[in-house]
Chains A and B, each alone.
Chain A
Amino acid sequence: MTRTIVKQLTKGVLLAILLAFGACNNILELTPDSELTEANFFKTAADMDGAVLGIYSNYQSRFPRDWTISEMLSDNTYRTGYFNIGGIDELNNLSITSENPLFASFWQSAYQGIFRANSVIFYIDNPTDYAENQQAQLTGEALFMRSLLYFNLVRVFGGVPLVTSKLTVEETYGVPRSSEPQVYQQITEDLKQAIDLLPMKAAIAGGRASKEAAVSLLAKVYVYLKEWDEAKTYLDMVEGFNFQLEPEFKSLWSISSENNEEVIFAMKYLDGENGQPLSTDFLPYFGVTGISSRGNENIFPTWSLYKLYDDGDSRKDETITPYWKSPNSPPADPAVWYPFVSKFAVQHTPNSSGLDLPVLRYADMVLLKAEVLYYLSQPDLALVELNRVRERAFGNEGHHYTSADIASEAAFLDKLLLERRLEFAFENERWFDLVRTGRYMTELKSVERYYNPSDGSVQTVQLNPQEHHRYMPIPRSQIDLVGPDVLQQNEGYN
């Protein structure tokens, strides 16, 4: 009896061991249930489409915070006591170091986007189930986004490492910076290719790249390169696309009219679900009635900027709101002088606003064209373009510039930069405009920040812009990883 039990039991145990052993592969050879991997992705047209959306997603999350570099360096903003983004104060005071975390995250994010674009281009031939023209479209989108990302990088840092294929981790330790012209060369080549591959805006979902977007970006790139003839060629192509200036400046900054004829390429957002923080970033900490229950109060607009807006300029109140009353404060409390940037202030969920943010809009093309025409010695035509934007802002022709206003190149640049500043305040244009025209060395010497209306006093800060500020420093952490002989620092920084 006992022996039988023992035998049976022992057999049972051994059987169990063998079963478990047989299940060996079941135990060790596992594939993820809920995660895709490099091995099983990039197989179908749908995969590739999703991968392209991944590039936009990268840009969509970085873009709303580009102001931390491009606006903080400018004379449009100064930081508040509530600011909660490390590094912006230093940029605002032009104490620029390679350890500033903003450069590291900007660099990181841009190359993440470039990696995603390169992955799409690398695997684009894998799927066999593309719809007609789909492969061309996806390739064009990837090329366009890669150009846009390199354009962002080259404007900030000058020449950067040029990565156009999938690299192994080992390979990434040996890629030096390309020269600025080499990067621009890549950008223009990619964009020309993208123009051929991309469909027209009407044939692709809003928020994705189109032929129009590629043409416009290329035109802008040529303006940065001061290749006026090339720029004009593409700006003329833009004219053929039927874009127009919105009749009302404020309808550009409203969710209900965000899909309008002025937008060439915008990042799309959905309130609460896929929103941006920019609408919240500039609001007073306690929020604004009807807009948001709270704000991030990172920056205030400078008095230098605010005082430039003429009364009657519709951009004035749309860009800056001067008086503010804390929501739900005791009713008797009056509104106080508290100028804040309200350009992106639509009603929204804090830090997740649904307002789309234009990356390229037609007004930019108009002013770029003014610039191009001026440098192609057609100042009268340039004046026409300049005044188109001015007319939209004032709603009438009463504030037009005249030939006398642009009598010299310096005078023209004054007016052009003023108009660009008023039009694109907080849209990440100001710093780059100052740099490409060389004006940053003079314009930034002194900035008026806070204005006290009760006694008319103005708080002015003196800054010390340096020649080498034309380029921002390569993030220190990146140089440390690969060594200064591979990744050279820009002059003036260490």
Chain B
Amino acid sequence: MRKAHYFLLLANLTAYSALALDDPIRTSRADNQVVKIENGSQQTVSGTVRDDTGTALEGVSVTVKRTGSGVATDAAGKFALEGVEPTDALVFRSIGYQDLEVEVAGKTTVDAVMEADVAGLDEVVVVGYGTQRKSSVTAAISKVENKNLDQIPVGRPELALVGRLAGVNISNTRSNPGSAPTIRVRGSGSISASNDPLVVIDGFPGGSMSSVNMNDVASIEVLKDASSAAIYGSRGSGGVIIITTKKGTVGKPQLQLNAYAGVAEALGHDDWISGDEFHDYVARYMNREYAWQGGDVSIPLWGDDRRPPNFRVNPVIREGNYIWEDILLRPAPMQNYSLSVRGGTDNVTYYVSGTYRDEQGTLLTTGYKTYAFRANVDAKLAPGINVGIMVSPNWADRRTSPVTMEAIVKTSPFVSPEPYPDGTYPRPLDYWGNSVSGQTSPLATLYGTFNTSSSMNNVGEMYAEAQLGKGLSIRSSFGANITYGIAENFQSASATSNGLNSGSARDTRSLNLLNENVLRYTNDFGGDHDFNAILGASFQKATSRTALQTAVAGSFNNETIRTLNNAIIDPSRSYTTKSRWGLISYFGRVNYAYKGKYLVSASFRTDGSSRFGPDNRWGNFPSASIAWRVSQEDFMQGNTVISELKPRVSYGVVGNFNIGDFSYLGTIDDVYYSPDDALTKGWAQNAIGNGGLQWERTESYNIGLDLGLFNNRLTMAADYYQKKTTNLLYDVSVPAISGFPAALVNVGDVRNTGFEVELNSQNLTGVFKWSTAFNFSRNKNEVVDLGGVDEVINTHTRGMAWILRKGEPMFSFYGYKLAGVLVDENDVANSPIMDGSKPGNTKYADVSGPDGVPDGKITPDDRVILGSYLPTMTFGMVNDFSWKNFDLSIAMQSSVGAKVYNLENLYYQGATVSAIRRSLVENQWWSTAEPGNGKEPATALSQLAWVSNSDYYLEDASFLAIRNLNLGYTVPQSFSERYKINSFRLFASISNLLMITKKGFHGYNPEGFTSGEIDGIKSMPGFNNGSEPINRVYTFGVNVIF
């Protein structure tokens, strides 16, 4: 704390001394000056600036060479410049284009066509608390500009980035409308604290990407290495995603419309069976079961009392031909309209926008709707003083399914979807009172369940910025992230299997307040030196409150009113809770470049968090990085091949504080007992206090190389990194005699090592243009230390386990290796078996025994690591083509090496007479006479323990996908201008055009799993039981600029 005082004092002193300067306020020459009309020889020159495809260019700086005064073009590429001499020359400059000089030569209209500058190295990259030219960046930062990203028909902005950034794995584990994808930057390092990256929206740390509308996004930067993320200190360990929204520009108002509509179609399975084929597989299933019990399978399947009821097969199941997947999934319309206006004067600029999008889910009744607004206003209060305000309220409505996919698509094919005259839906039990699933009709479940949620979110910020002296400025901002969420659930009696209606309502609200003050200093010391530094202090405080009310089951008087005033509130399931956290930070950074060749950057941040005990509150997060622009050296001048060569090295430390708000305290929780039959609250300690709890630290090294060839037509950024997370916040098992299974402590290390490459190539630059952006990432995750134990195993009820073992990736699958099936008694007698095995059970690989060598028996010693849910490699490639007025963009993604435990398959293999998939049963063992292919064991529900503990359900989830194809046509300007339209582009887009998975992969979505990501010691990542199908989405749209 004392250190922090000192730091702040320093910041204040600097600020005061700046004030004390006699005349510290000088207007920078960079400030735009209004060009005055002085005499007749001067004139106003106007024109339009386009690129070589004819697209109007916005934001191009147009200056008079002689005076240096200038303006920027508006969204239609237009500019008007006053006070120009007929003999003047105009200079056009824009990032990404070659500078252009045009002689006015007495004309009043000067149109310009700018050539793209393939170099692209001087684009501006947003870093924490500032921006940098890409050429002077010393860290590993990936950037995506919003070109066509806002046309990709996805509900959340993260999904548009899939496959576009090396080292950033965005996977959509659930594809129901509005669900959040998982983002991992360079792998996962933490067990019990979150691995999510920090999202910084226009400088506000801790926002949610769901609150951002892609249409408003200018660019997205990802700070991947610790040296760039360290400026966010305690929250940087998962990487930092910086979202920069569009700002206003000087000029007359520009209206821009982006609208598209389309339809989504779920990519389902094609091997469901029905009728006789279904009946016959059920008969095989029942006979197999009966034979194991010692029954005589020659007894007729139906109508013979000698066959016990559990092993009979009712012929009614031959009837009906209902493929429930087709019944439950529908083509779902989606539409999106975004309208934005931007403009401004020299003193005030604004960007305002509104978006409405409506996306129905392909699963009946589900859907996601958002309404979003944004206003970014910046004003120049006086020379050297800027203020601004930003608000971005948005509202989202979502309706989700109460059940996962496998629970409903497994509905038997003999069950009709047609309701009875009384409006209720047939259930399997109505056809056959035994052996079948006890579920209600999925239609009753979906139509009768109203799981709706609404959320309001606003990230707002005000700032003031003042120039204090030459190169010295201070910026102070106040921001707030206000969220409000409502989740209302109602389930009618007909939708449940217990016949009792139910309901609940949950309200959550949170207020996250932030004050940041940053002092900034820049100086070039007259040429060869380029120095800038920041010094800042940040104060953040968050409060949240949750209120839940739950109805007593069955207490709704009627089902017309679904709010809780129509029910009796259950006091034991109704409550309010509050929580808080706070963070105080002081930070500083210096960047220094000598002659634009030798680049050095160093930062330091110290954070104090309320989430740790008083003695461990403060953590320090230093970083440093250097780079050498070899290509700027004299000896490289004249080299026609290498245009850019920059090796970089960086080191940094970041932290993770994503644990519960008061995890360091031994908290006491309420528990219940009912003495004298009266529900009474008691108390019990639910966690061991640990005052020593502290930051999880991630230390990382990054070695990178930026390379540009052939005048930067081909650029490459390659990075090798090693990231070691130590002091892992981790719920380590403790002896149960402590009263607790585990305690949150700082113990253990995890290492992520990886390599990633981003390549950008302008393959063709003529009339037909073709560019390719390619990225490749490889990450190796490895548990290094677990604090005294070599491994921690979490075994699921069904036998598969997830293991943390030194030297292996976190949460690797751990179980028995399948060697085949025990085809008959002879095979059972002559194979290493698990006690009690019988024909049809799994033949396991005997890999070890008590002495470490195969012992002819299958025991827990034979369990091995079977793979990991993490891919070993990912690829992304975006190809952009353009020819005359046409443009085409194709985004592809591939992932290799991940595995998914598709336990859901068992539901499609005959259990409870549910729907069957042919590919899952045709090769399996049914009897010694029908042994299948000898590789697939019997998967009866009663034998599950013999199957699900092996890698039988573990499937290779590698895939190659064409994630998006976007074809556009820009109406010729000559035509559109007749309608006062500056630019008019039509486009058609298909998402998930192609998804190729490995043979033997049976899930809907190779990235799909339902158990959630790593979240504590009991995590089961890669466990899939009912993840939704992915959708192919066809859309048509327009982009219009007025």
A residues near B (Cβ < 8 Å) are 1-3, 5-7, 9-10, 12-14, 16-18, 20-21, 23-24, 26-30, 32-39, 41, 47, 49-54, 56-58, 60, 81-82, 84-86, 89, 93, 95, 97, 99, 101, 104, 107-108, 111-112, 114-116, 118-119, 161, 163, 167, 169, 172-173, 175, 205-208, 259, 268-270, 272-274, 285-287, 292-294, 325-326, 328-330, 333, 336-338, 349-350, 450, 452, 454-455, 459, 475, 477-478, 480-482, 494
Contacts and interface: CB of A to CB of B under 8 A. Distances in A.
A27 B661 CA distance: 12
B312 to A, nearest CB: 9
Contact of A268 (B464, B517, B579, B677): B677
Contact of B942 (A30, A81, A333): A81
A167 B688 CA distance: 11
B739 interface: yes
A107 B735 CA distance: 10
Contacts of B430: 328-330
Interface residues of B, number: 109
Given A14-B12, A93-B835, A329-B433, 7 more contacts: A2-B385, A10-B19, A54-B671, A54-B684, A115-B739, A172-B737, A273-B674
Nearest to B669: A35
A13 B475 CA distance: 9
B127 interface: no
Contact of A9 (B466, B553, B584): B466
B308 A294 contact: no
B93 interface: no
Given A86-B797, A167-B738, A268 B674 contact: yes
Contacts of B581: 30
10 tightest A-B CB contacts, nearest first = A329-B433, A115-B739, A53-B682, A27-B582, A54-B684, A326-B433, A205-B675, A81-B942, A36-B668, A33-B578
Given A53-B675, A293-B498, A107 B429 contact: no
Contacts of A28: 582, 584, 608-610, 617
A352 to B, nearest CB: 9
A116 B310 CA distance: 46
B289 interface: yes
Contacts of A3: 25
Contacts of A54: 671, 682-684
Given A5-B381, A27-B582, A333-B433, A37 B572 contact: no
A352 B738 CA distance: 29
A82 B941 contact: yes
A146 to B, nearest CB: 12
Contacts of A330: 430-433
B860 interface: yes
A350 B582 CA distance: 43
Interface in B437-481: 438, 464, 466, 468, 474, 476, 478
Nearest to A349: B553
Contacts of B945: 89
B160 interface: no
Contact of B675 (A20, A175, A207): A207
A318 to B, nearest CB: 22
Interface in B762-814: 789, 795, 797-799
B836 A36 contact: no
B681 interface: yes
Contacts of B499: 293
Contacts of A163: 737
Nearest to A108: B736
A481 B789 contact: yes
A115 B743 CA distance: 15
A17 B584 CA distance: 12
A337 B309 contact: yes
B689 interface: yes
Interface in B104-146: none
B293 interface: yes
Nearest to B790: A480
Given A338-B309, A481-B789, A17 B739 contact: no
A104 B476 CA distance: 56
Nearest to B795: A101
Nearest to A286: B438
Given A41-B668, A111-B737, A175-B737, A480 B789 contact: yes
Nearest to A59: B673
8 contacts: A1-B382, A50-B682, A115-B738, A287-B438, A294-B438, A329-B430, A450-B293, A452-B308
Contact of B539 (A20, A50, A172, A274): A20
Interface in B525-551: 537, 539-541
A116 B684 contact: yes
A294 B572 CA distance: 24
B552 A53 contact: no
B676 interface: yes
Interface in B637-686: 661-662, 665-669, 671-677, 679-685
A27 B539 contact: yes
A163 B738 CA distance: 9
Contacts of B671: 53-54, 57-58
Contact of A169 (B431, B679, B688, B850): B688
A119 B671 CA distance: 15
Nearest to B476: A13
B936 to A, nearest CB: 20
B734 interface: yes
B862 to A, nearest CB: 13
Nearest to A325: B433
B737 A161 contact: yes
Nearest to B15: A14
A37 B665 contact: yes
Nearest to B571: A273
Given A6-B25, A29-B610, A33-B579, A99 B860 contact: yes
B515 interface: yes
B424 to A, nearest CB: 11
A47 B670 CA distance: 11
Contact of B577 (A34, A172, A328): A34
A376 B789 CA distance: 53
A165 B638 CA distance: 81
Contacts of A326: 429, 433-434
Nearest to A56: B673
B247 interface: no
B583 interface: yes
Contacts of A480: 789
Contacts of B608: 27-28
B429 A286 contact: yes
A101 B794 CA distance: 10
Contact of B673 (A9, A57, A101): A57
B594 interface: no
B633 interface: no
Contacts of A478: 735-736
A32 B580 CA distance: 7
Given A30-B582, A86-B797, A325-B433, A81 B289 contact: yes
A93 B668 contact: no
Given A13-B474, A52-B682, A206-B675, A2 B610 contact: no
A329 B434 contact: yes
A21 to B, nearest CB: 6
B497 interface: yes
B418 interface: no
A94 to B, nearest CB: 10
Contacts of B333: none
Given A2-B383, A14-B15, A16-B476, A349 B681 contact: no
Interface in B667-721: 667-669, 671-677, 679-685, 688-689
B464, B539, B572, B738 pick with most chain A CB within 10 angstroms: B738
Nearest to A5: B382
B610 A30 contact: yes
A33 B546 CA distance: 12
B8 interface: yes
B306 interface: yes
